[in-house]
Amino acid sequence: MQAALEQLISGKLPYILIGRNELPANAILLPGSFNPLHRGHAALLLAAEKATGREGVLELSISNVDKPPLSLAEVERRLLQFKDIHSVVLTCAPTFSEKVKLFPEAWFALGYDTAIRLLDPAYPAEIPAMLTRFQSLGTRFVVGGRMQEGAFLILENLPVPAGFAELFIPLPESAFHESISSTELRTQ
């Protein structure tokens, strides 16, 4: 595994797929740091699979926009959580623009908190071009709600730019309502 990870980090491999022979043509990827993997991740992926009829795969990026890259030891530690439970694809794609380049026909399952970062108003000039690219590739984002500041926020609470609503598929609260987070679990 270490040799494959080194090839991934060096750019010689686009990704590493674990737990299956090939990525399904109708994949729905759940990106995350999975530190730790918890029932909210599993519930979001299952709800997204049921809502779309697509096959779920977890996506762990070694690189992250807001954090230093994961060490090889840390990647291996996190991968142990998935053993015999979930298929996972390892990437070095920290942004959705990079993920879509690797998996142009895949859809993505997101929690509300991740969808906010995708549509970050700090980058207003870049968002329409990015969303237009997603449209052209058939990318979709299935968005599950999230508890924030005492309220369960859903896709309808997001400022989706005009003309791009079809990129986002809401998961109703009845299909997905988990308030657990990795950050909370790590602090316990």
58: helix, coil or strand? strand
Look at residue 149 in the predicted model and tell me its pLDDT.
82
> How far is the CA of 34 from the CAs of 1, 76, 108, 120, 163, in angstroms?
19, 12, 16, 22, 32
The predicted structure's pLDDT at residue 183: 54
What residue type is assigned to position 42 of the chain?
A
Structure tokens at 167: 């990129």
Taking each helix axis from N to C end, the angle separating 72-80 and 2-10, rounded to the nearest 10 degrees, works out to 120
pTM over 0.75: yes
Per-residue pLDDT of the chain (188 residues; tens, 9 = 90+): 889 989 998 999 999 999 999 999 999 999 999 988 888 889 999 999 999 999 999 999 999 888 889 999 999 999 998 888 889 999 999 999 999 999 988 999 999 989 998 988 776 678 999 999 999 999 999 999 888 888 888 899 898 999 999 999 999 888 887 765 555 544 65
Query: Which domains occur in the chain, in start order?
Result: 2-187 (3.40.50.620)
Determine the pLDDT at residue 185. 45
